[in-house]
Amino acid sequence: MQYDLLIKNGRIVDGTGRPAYRGDLAVRGGKIAEIGKISGGAAKTLDADGLVVSPGFFDVHTHYDAQLFWDPIATPSSWHGITTVLMGNCGFTIAPVRPGDRDYLMRLMARVEAISLDVLKNGLDWEWESFGDYLGRMRGKVGVNAAALVGHSALRYYVMGADSYQRAATPDELSRMKAILRQAIADGAIGFSTSQTAHHTGGYGEPVPSRLCAPEELVELASVLKDTGGLIAANPKPGQSEVSEPFQELMISMGRASGCPLLWNSVMHRWDKPKQWQVNLDYMARAAKEGAGIYAVGRYQRMDLEFNLHRTNQLDGAPEWKEFIAKPFSEKMRLIADPPTRLRLREAWDSLAIAQRAVQKMELLHIARTALPQHRQLEGKKLKDVATGQGKHTADALLDLAQAEDLNTQFAYIGFMNGDEAAVRGIVNSSYCLPGVSDAGAHLDTDCGVDFTATLLGHWVREEHALTLEEAVRRLTSMSAKVLGITDRGILREGLAADIVLFNPESIAAQPRELRNDLPKGGRRLVQRATGIRAVIVNGQMLIDDGKATGALPGSIIGAAGKT
């Protein structure tokens, strides 16, 4: 029998958690045709001796809503074995949208998700209004499978305009929102997302629209999913890996109203509240006992936040620094050399350090990468140690280096969150956390969290033995698929979609981050490669072959109840 693709001699880890076994796997017509000892021929054969053959991985917290239009294979996620992405998180999407409201949504995404406004303006053609039209623009043109949530803020703004970030909705407005959400799910959306997080503000400093809703609005929107199926994704109050008690109960109410899982973002270790991660896990265990399917996206790796002085909100805690960062490049370069400005920034730095002591932010500040060869020896060093060695105030050390490199120096808070390895192990071991929080497609020059797959399989499985290989693969595949309501992929089983990853369990690892200027109009982003991933297959077609894109675009748009 002739197959499209035959994978021979692999160590099959099927995604169910069952023990691995040696065998072959054949693909025909985008589906898994046979698993076992296979003697038939194929148009293409891969020798998987020494490799694990697993289902394709899921990334359940991304913001690829815009990026898929200029990067249809969703890099760097696909380089790390990701075959299905969940996008539209945090309540922020670029549909539905009226032609006159596009600028508002772009500024919202630029402010909250740190995607350059120039990148968005030059990367999107805006040939859509409804959510269905938006999905239609991507069908047949993406390399990975994309499941898209309807953003609560976009939905409110579409119905209410500027009132959406000033007041609660009227009964008529809520009824219209429910109707639009219902139609969007019928047209291929997988559910809806919302943010109640206090630090989420729009492009003009206003609260994002979803923050102005009454609790009843969220329950009513959730009730739409009772008929359609799907998923709710939430960023809770107050945010930053903390959930207030009222919002804990509200999420349970939303879950009950929808009859669907609710996935919230996110569980991580915080230096200022070092036991909060355990409080979060205890809450989800209680919710499960009450019959609510509440899950969280858990970060399995350390979070390092990078920034430079061109554009950042990492120093907004001091008004003097916030005002300085907002200036144009030429003005910033002038002010750096201005003694009175230096004095103000130096004094403000001391206030900033005191204010941020609880999260150890200034203690964690390092020089991540330099732009000039003569400064390479500073990379990886703490800024305060460099300042001490130079006999300078820390603020002066930062400003002098940035000035010498035309503000291109990358600084980083190393271990800003998830800096406690023991706490992260507890998150990894939780049955209520899905691996993720990559935020891929957002915070492009600040964070790159796609390394969670390689970190889980390399660090936590191979090095730390925190999970078995089979359980880790289950978390990345069928567990995520089940929460998303996707039934035709996530497991290696005959008849299911052939989303497959081949990787070397002895060498899989994340590579160091690098800065690239490969976004529209030369925009900058951090990317990260992985070693040990031999092939990434989507719907039976090779997407990534030995680290290189094949040019194929076999991805599907996946809606509620797994509809494609």
Using CA of residue 477, residue 483, residue 485, residue 487, what is the dihedral sign? positive
Query: CA separation (Å) from 473 to 1, 309, 411, 462?
Result: 30, 40, 34, 13
Give tens-digit pLDDT for 483-539.
999 999 999 999 999 999 999 999 999 999 999 999 999 999 999 999 999 999 999
Separation between Cα atoms, residue 472 and residue 493, nearest integer Å: 18
pLDDT in tens for each of the 564 residues of the chain?
Answer: 799 999 999 999 999 999 999 999 999 999 999 999 999 899 999 999 999 999 999 999 999 999 999 999 999 999 999 999 999 999 999 999 999 999 999 999 999 999 999 999 999 999 999 999 999 999 999 999 999 999 999 999 999 999 999 999 999 999 999 999 999 999 999 999 999 998 899 988 899 999 999 999 999 999 999 999 999 999 998 887 889 999 999 999 999 999 999 999 999 999 889 999 999 999 999 999 999 999 999 999 999 999 999 988 788 888 899 899 989 999 999 999 999 999 999 999 988 876 665 556 778 899 999 999 999 999 999 999 999 999 999 999 999 999 999 999 999 999 989 999 999 999 999 999 999 999 999 999 999 999 999 999 999 999 999 999 999 999 999 999 999 999 999 999 999 999 999 999 999 999 999 999 999 999 999 999 999 999 999 999 999 999 999 999 999 999 997 778
| Residue 1 C-alpha from the chain's centroid | 41
The structure tokens 């009843």 sit at 216
What is the model's pLDDT at position 354? 67
Which tokens is 516 given?
């690239």
Coil/strand/helix, residue 194: strand
Name the strand (E) or helix (H) holding 289. Answer: helix 276-289
What is the model's pLDDT at position 81? 99
Separation between Cα atoms, residue 211 and residue 195, nearest integer Å: 7
Helices (H), 411-492: 421-428, 452-454, 469-476, 478-484
Which tokens is 52 given?
């694990």
What is the model's pLDDT at position 359? 56
Separation between Cα atoms, residue 206 and residue 404, nearest integer Å: 36
Separation between Cα atoms, residue 460 and residue 504, nearest integer Å: 15
Beta strands in 400-472 (DSSP E): 410-417, 433-435
Query: ∠ at Cα 120 (114, 124), nearest 5°?
Result: 150
Break the chain into its structural domains and give their ranges.
Answer: 305-416
Single out the residue of 138, 145, 102, 148 nearest to residue 121, CA to CA: 102
Bridge partner residues of 148 (DSSP): 87
Q: What is the DSSP letter of 455?
A: I
Query: Strand order of the sheet with strand 365-369?
Result: 303-307, 410-417, 365-369
pTM of the predicted model as reported, rounded to 2 decimal places: 0.95
Beta strands in 252-358 (DSSP E): 262-267, 294-298, 303-307
Which tokens is 140 given?
């047949």
What is the model's pLDDT at position 355? 62
